[in-house]
Amino acid sequence: MTPVRCFGEDGKLPEKATRELSSELLSLFHQKKMPKSSPIILRIFKEEAELEVWKQDTTGHFQLLKIYPICRWSGDLGPKIYEGDRQTPEGFYTITPKLMNPNSNFYLAINTGFPNAFDKVNNRDGTFLMIHGDCSSSGCYAMTDEQIAEIYSLARDSLRGRPSFQVQAYPFRMTPANLARHRTNPHLAFWKMLKIGNDHFEATHLEPKVDVCNHRYVFDAQQPPSSANPLVFDPKGQCPPFVVNPKIAQAALRKQRADDVEYTELVKNSVSVAPIHSGLDGGMNEVFHAQFPGEIVPLARVLPPGSGPELPQLPPIPWTDNDGSLANRQFGALFGSNYALPTQVVGPDSTLQGRGAESAPTAPLASPTTTLAFPD
């Protein structure tokens, strides 16, 4: 079998992969003060069937450039677990030039890089999960050919002079209303973990630094001031002592506090719960319904609240700090029976620190041990 060539492997690329961006998009760069080759971040929201392109401006922050309706995605809300489950991935992925495929059978394709370190350590597997054209999906995010041509060009230009860009894939927009609607879903704890990274980005418009330790994502971790040892993250091993940049921590905590208040009120008012499906075959943005009638076949059945696929029972994540600072608390179990959320807390120096979720209502933020978990 002849191997598929990817971006940058030779000089013979098809015209569709080298096409210049439109004058309209270049004009938008100018209006938003975005250099043509500045970094991008792709943000995907399944339930809304939307893909956002964010691009870095001259201040170093990311601004929303454009929203693309997704033509087709397969599976149900929730992460990809195993080969053949038709699930589209959820999580944080790093796209390198070798994952750009100009010779795809689906016009153009960007491989998500699934499985990443988090997926592998949690025994999730699958291959060739893409963002591509042709509006046809079996575990992929499918766009129209016109859309993927533009997205591919934006990605290609952003990779000039840098090693990668980030993809953030979510089940839905990580709002308190959506989390309240899905509060009985078996994937809730996983989604709350993704929300921490989402909040870091939305609160700062900076790309979150993503690491994996002890079977979970960790965001924007940096070496404690009093530590002389560089941070080393082992996806299977204990998390090392770390803190989060105070500016990121403060902004993220403000957002988390406001979201927590709204979520609590929604649950208190018994907002309706979204049904949990078995066998749902994905969706598409409503703008494509007339163009592709019959593309979505409703094979799903609705399951009782709280039921759904069996999820792995991951261990707690204890980590301690002997340097005298408050940087190291203890994370709670990620997938416990009450879906405990590994949360983060504010120390006296305003750095964000790791801590386990508590089932009690949240306390005022002034407390150094304030938890920011959403109550279930």
Quick one: what percent of the chain has pLDDT higher than 90? 65
Comparing 283 with 208, which gets the higher pLDDT?
208
For the residues 205-220, what does the mean pLDDT come to? 97
State yes or no: pLDDT of 305 exceeds 80.
no
Q: Is the pLDDT of residue 306 over 90?
A: no
Q: Which domains does the chain have, with CATH numbers?
A: 15-173 (2.40.440.10), 188-273+311-355 (no CATH)
CA angle 239, 244, 250 (to 5 degrees): 140
pLDDT tens, position by position, 263-302: 999 999 999 999 887 666 788 999 998 887 766 544 444 4
Crossing angle (nearest 10°) for helices 246-268 and 188-204: 130
Q: Which of 293, 297, 292, 303 is nearest to 282 (CA)?
A: 297
Please report where in the chains the tokens 């750095």 appear, as a residue.
351
Q: Report CA 102 to chain centroid distance, whole Å.
A: 25
Q: Which residues are catalytic?
A: 132, 140
Among 130-134, 271-275, 365-369, whose mean pLDDT is lowest? 365-369
- What is the phi/psi pair of residue 65, to 5°? -95, -50
Question: What is the pLDDT, as a whole number, of residue 294?
Answer: 61
Worst-scoring range by mean pLDDT, 77-86, 102-111, 179-188, 357-366? 357-366
Whole-angstrom Cα Rg for the chain:
21
pLDDT digits (tens, 9 = 90+) for 140-166: 999 999 999 999 999 999 999 999 999
Model's pTM, two decimal places?
A: 0.79
Task: Please give the average per-residue pLDDT across 200-213, as a whole number.
Answer: 98
H runs (alpha helix) in the chain: 15-18, 23-32, 117-121, 145-158, 176-181, 188-204, 246-268
pLDDT value of residue 356: 31
